[in-house]
Every structure is written in structure tokens, then in C-alpha cells.
Amino acid sequence: MKKWITFDLDGTLMQNPFGKWVFPEVEELISNKLQRQFKSTEALVREHELRMQQNRTVEAYDWDEMVQQLLREQQIDLEINVEQLVLKHSIDPKIYVLEEAVIPTLRKLKEQGYSLATVTNGFYKYQYPVMKELGLSEWFDEIITPEKAGCGKPDVNILRGLQESGQIIAHVGDRLDHDVYLANATDIPSMMIYRKLPESLRTMSPQRRAASAEFMKICEEKLKAENPHIRTTPYPPAYIPTHVLYQIEELLECL
């Protein structure tokens, strides 16, 4: 049986081109066509959030389909291909790994016999080009995406295929509502990466950080920002990580 370690991608291992490059270009293309400013990013995010609230966790990340829907609704005769825009912008310095230690850490995990998988809400056609360009793809045995799994995080069924082939030792991610919840719901150690950790917490072990009152305050504010629909008073245990990582290489000491 394989021993899996699973990773979120965006905000955990890498920076994708959507926020600073893809969405702004979509907005520019539509605005130029209309000859007026049109806030397409806001419209797309609203549609994304609506689909997530409706538990349409695959459709919520189909940016090509959402852009096409927006164009139809606004009666805009324009060709926009989000996948091609991702390919266009998947170049240095628009995309990057979030720490120099990312690839060395993945290498050490492989050397120790772990199987590695990404569990991401981004579609394969958007994620793989970025991973390949950054040298990340070669380290992963599986790339789990919503359109392949039939669901997205935080739906626990996204892990089903990996669980059938082995044991998931840990899940590493940066979001409470997606990654920490997913891991906790499946009794997997939830390794939350938080690179803005206050100095006062950096000398603590990853487990002690997670249990500290100071980090609980951080969690409360972060969860409110991630998902305002989740009640944070009292703070729900499902969103408390078992470990808090300041740097990715700290994962090695947690296993």
C-alpha cells in the first residue's frame, strides 16, 4: 500500500497567473470590445461563489465555461479561451514557486519512499502547464483535479481514488475551508502552511502553534475572509489544523 502525502497547489506550492494576468486580460478584452470599463473579474468571482454555495464544486472552477456564459449574458461577440491565456502567461516571472525549499522538500519526501499527489481545485488544463514550467510536475505521482475526480474540495470524495490505493499520511494546504476541513473530515493530519506567522509562534513546534490561542485568533479572521458563510463563534473544530507550517521544509519533521 502506498503512503501518500497530498498537496494543494495555489498558495501552497506555487503562484498561478490567474489573479495578476489571466483575469485582467479577460477584463481588458471585454472592456475594449464594449468600449467601456466592464468588471468581468467581479462577475466571474460572484458566479464562482454562487456555484460553490450550491455545491457545484466542479463547475465552480470551469473558468472557460464561466467566461463563455458571461459573454452570452452580456451579448458580447468575442472569442476568449482561458486555457490559452494560462499557457500564454505561464512564464517567469508571472508564475513561481513560493519557496526555494519547495522542490528540495518534494525530492526528500520521494527519497523517503512517499508517493506524492496534488489535490487541487484547479482544472488539469490550467494547473499542469504551470506545474510543468516550474519543474513541479515531475515530482508528483498523481494530479487530482475536480473534472477528473467528479468533485472539488472540500468534498471528501476527491480523495477516494488515493485512499483506495494506499494511506494518506498528511495533506498540506493554505486554506482552512478547503484544505484543513478536508483533511480533518477524513482523519488525515492537516498541515496548514502559513507564511505570515508571527515571530512569537515561529519558535514553537508545528503542533504547538496549531493549539495556541494566538493562532486561533488568526484562524478566526482567516476563515471569515475565506468563507463568510461559516459561523466562527464559537470557532468550529473542523477548521483547526493539526499542524501549522511556517516553511514547507518543516513538513519533514512532522511525519
69 with 46: CB under 8 angstroms? no
What pLDDT score does 72 carry? 97
Fold of 2-16+95-254: Rossmann fold (3.40.50)
Where along the chain do its domains lie? 2-16+95-254, 18-89
Range list of H helices, the chain = 23-34, 40-53, 63-73, 82-89, 102-111, 124-134, 146-149, 160-165, 181-185, 199-202, 206-211, 213-226, 251-254
Per-residue pLDDT of the chain (255 residues; tens, 9 = 90+): 899 999 999 999 999 999 999 999 999 999 999 999 999 999 999 999 999 999 999 999 999 999 999 999 999 999 999 999 999 999 999 999 999 999 999 999 999 999 999 999 999 999 999 999 999 999 999 999 999 999 999 999 999 999 999 999 999 999 999 999 999 999 999 999 999 999 999 999 999 999 999 999 999 999 999 999 999 999 999 999 999 999 999 999 999
